[in-house]
Structure 1
Amino acid sequence: MNGNGGDHADDVFEALSDVQRRKLLVDLLEHNPQTVETISEASREVGGMSEGLKEEYLASDAEISGADKSHVRLYHVHLPMLVEYGFVEWDRESNTVVKGARFDAIRPVLELLEENHETLPAGWL
């Protein structure tokens, strides 16, 4: 990751490579701050697994009672990545996400996506 400098375009496109991150970032254009859902205890425990076990669980069809894969990804993959890149700031106690110090670096691409959302293929936003 190039969160501390380097090629900013790589950071932008890596951040936008997942639909859950794209939706959150586009929503921040108009609604800052955003509140994210509270993570369940089961999802929190999954997030505490070793990286290998967590990745295996997220890539599988396996289910863990009370765990929500989208919440695990949001809390343990997506939000940490966006924070590292500086695109968002995340208050874990209040479940609040706001634009980060580098949000303006990603803004032009987000605006392009938002302005053209009706012509984009299904599932892009």
Structure 2
Amino acid sequence: MLAQRPNTEKTDYALDALSHICRRRLLFELYEEVNSGEGESINYTGIPLLRTERRRILLHHAHLPKLEELGYINWKEGEQTIQKGPRWDEIEPLLELIYSHLDELPPFLRGIPPKRN
């Protein structure tokens, strides 16, 4: 299986999109919304992780533009919402894989802070 060369560019894009906590949170929030059958978009202002001033600035100037440029989301800045983008189908299988095996991952990969002694 590893002898086959995957499309490394698409793989790099997907892993890069998931490499920052803010982008991961956005993508997983959207994934949960879409797969719950509740809707096709989310209002990102309600995500607690993204409420600090610094993260809001980075969100608007770095993370949302990056995810939109990759085609994973469509960003409606005026409405403060995101929805699936034209290339959502490229990232969704990876989100699904991680999401369905979340309990099997080590705590640091689940976003759980380390225990202090």
Q: Once the two structures are superposed, what CA deviation does each residue of 1:46-91 show, in whole Å capped at 9, x if it has no partner?
A: xxxxxxxxxxxxxxxxxxxxx7111111111110000000000000
Cα RMSD over matched residues?
A: 1.9
Segment drifting more, 111-120 vs 92-101: 111-120
Structure with the larger helix share: 2
Cα distance, 1:79–1:36 mapped onto 2, change above 3 Å: same
Q: Structure 1 segments of 4 or more deviating over 6 A?
A: none
Kindly indicate whether structure 1 or structure 2 has the higher relative contact order, using CA contacts under 8 Å at least 6 residues apart.
1
Residue 80 (1) aligns with residue 65 (2): yes
- Is 1:33 the counterpart of 2:41? The answer is yes
- 1:119 equivalent to 2:104? Answer yes
TM-score, normalization by structure 1 = 0.66
Q: How does 1:58-73 map to 2 (within 5 A)?
A: 68-73=53-58
Q: Give the 3 Å change call, closer, same or farther, for CA 34–28 of structure 1 in structure 2.
A: same
How does 1:13-28 map onto structure 2 within 5 Å? 13-28=15-30
CA distance in 1, matches of 2:27, 2:92: 9
State the alpha-carbon separation in 1 of the partners of residues 54 and 109 from structure 2: 19
Which residues of structure 2 form unaligned runs of 5+?
A: 1-7, 34-39, 47-51, 111-117
Aligned residues: 92
In structure 2, what is the equivalent of residue 9 of structure 1? 11
Q: Any stretches of 5+ residues in structure 1 without a counterpart?
A: 1-5, 39-66
What's the TM-score, normalizing by structure 2?
0.71
User: Could you tell which deviates more after superposition, 96-105 or 6-15?
Assistant: 6-15
